Structure 1
Amino acid sequence: MRAARVFADRADGGRCLAEELRHRTWADPLVLGLARGGVPVAAVVARRLGAGLDVAVARKIGAPGRREYGVGAVTAEGPAIYDEAALHTLRLTAARLAWTEAGERAEARRRLGRYRAGRPAAVLAGRDVIVVDDGLATGVTATAALRDVREGRPRRLVFATPVAAPGAADRVRAEADDVVCVAEPPGFRAVGQWYADFRQTSDDDVLDLLFR
């Protein structure tokens, strides 16, 4: 694992991550980019590994008035998950967040429908599936995505990211067969601080990468 570094952009993060992954043996690999920011990273990884590329969607459930503070996450299907410690700290309950949860699930379904554009979901069963994001902060969104992917019965399920908060990788190891990250830098406050160019990835960007 490398020391703290700033990646030029998500593609640079993908190149560095691919170097960590390409010496391993993969069985019919499929790379799933966690939309939206994980897709530019995943596209580079898939190209370097000669793997298929598809998309996974999970939405953060933010605290009231602090939308970027993720206390839970939800996918298009399946139950939402919550960080019980965060709920306790903020004196929140899942019931109080039901409206937010429903809105984020609806957005997950909208995005998945647009990205798939009528295509069937990729077959996961029996394959090595690598879920890729641009960074790992709390791990709650990654956990929701991994649980959703696990339902497809992959042969092996790996979570991979260029940068993770110290300790965050440990929190998702229970959900994946392996976790790979290039760096877990001290002083981590947000994913964006480790990219020189962290401009927002749009739906059109995702579609372009998926269909290129």
Structure 2
Amino acid sequence: MFKDRIDAALQLAEKLKAFKGKDVVVLAIPKGGLPLGVIIAKTLNAPLDVVLSKKIGHPFNKEYAIGAVSLENMVINEHLDIPEKYIAEETQNIRKKLQKRYDLYHKGRPPIALQGKNIIIVDDGVATGNTLKVTAELVHGQHPKKTIVAIPVAPLGAIQNLEGSNFIDKVICLETPHNFRAVGQFYSNFEQVSEEEAIELLEELNGVPDH
């Protein structure tokens, strides 16, 4: 159990100290991953950016990810028999939303280049790992040196799912409880992070000069 995201971030940052000075970029999943991303980036003296992608839900169960979309890439589970028209329409709708979020988070600032870097993708926890898995595949398209996923809590099945990815080199997770129902149950305080708060966190860290 974590007190809040700050507590989780401090514990996770301890586990990541070996990456300090190793050409790291921290990528946070908005919005809940940003409070952790800021602390981890400060600890590692690394730049922080967000990774903007969104799952495509199954036509009959929107919670079930059949793939994911970023502004540049798309990953679809090929073995599923989903109409191309549905995928095209969902992709278009998602990209409109992502473009709005991109403009909010970057405000004219280009995203940090990931090629040849050690990428640490951070979130406040995962339930299935599916969305994070396809996010890692999208990041892989930018040719990082290594991709590490760092999360405070997830069920064992999600960790195995992430470790089975060809696009994730290492998974660091603090807790893998058996009685997992939702990420929030393992935080005393799990208040929603607003878009405004998330943007402020990103700007706060990017306002700090590199050391």
TM bin, normalised by shorter chain, reads 0.7 to 0.9
Question: Does residue 1:16 correspond to 2:11, yes or no?
Answer: yes
- Residues 88-129 of structure 1, C-alpha deviation per residue, up to 9 Å, x if partnerless? xxxx72547423343223222221222111101102122211
2:28 match: secondary structure: strand
2:188 match: secondary structure: coil
Question: Does residue 1:177 correspond to 2:169, yes or no?
Answer: yes
- Residues 18-45 of structure 1, C-alpha deviation per residue, up to 9 Å, x if partnerless? 1111134552111010112111111111
Task: Show structure 2 runs of 5+ residues with no match.
Answer: 205-211
Question: Does residue 1:153 correspond to 2:143, yes or no?
Answer: yes
Aligned residues: 201
Change in 2 beyond 3 A, CA 1:7/1:115: same
Question: Does residue 1:203 correspond to 2:195, yes or no?
Answer: yes
Task: Show structure 1 runs of 5+ residues with no match.
Answer: 1-5
- CA distance, structure 1, for counterparts of residue 90 and residue 183 of structure 2: 23
Residue 144 (structure 1) aligns with: 134
2:158 to 168, 177, 196: 168
2:43 to 39, 48, 67: 48
Contact 1:80 1:101 in 2 (8 A): no
- CA distance, structure 1, for counterparts of residue 185 and residue 128 of structure 2: 15
2:95 match: secondary structure: helix
Question: Does residue 1:110 correspond to 2:105, yes or no?
Answer: no
Q: How does 1:68-79 map to 2 (within 5 A)?
A: 68-79=63-74
- Residues 171-211 of structure 1, C-alpha deviation per residue, up to 9 Å, x if partnerless? 22222111111111111111121122222222211211111
- CA distance, structure 1, for counterparts of residue 29 and residue 47 of structure 2: 14
- CA distance, structure 1, for counterparts of residue 78 and residue 197 of structure 2: 30
Identity of matched residues, %? 36
Residue 207 (structure 2) aligns with: none
Contact 2:5 2:36 in 1 (8 A): yes
The alignment's TM-score, normalised by the length of structure 2, stands at 0.84
Change in 2 beyond 3 A, CA 1:186/1:39: same
2:48 is aligned with what amino acid?
L
Contact 1:26 1:128 in 2 (8 A): no
Which is worse superposed, 31-40 or 66-75? 66-75
Residue 27 (structure 1) aligns with: 22
Q: CA RMSD in A?
A: 2.2
Contact 1:73 1:82 in 2 (8 A): no
Contact 1:35 1:58 in 2 (8 A): no
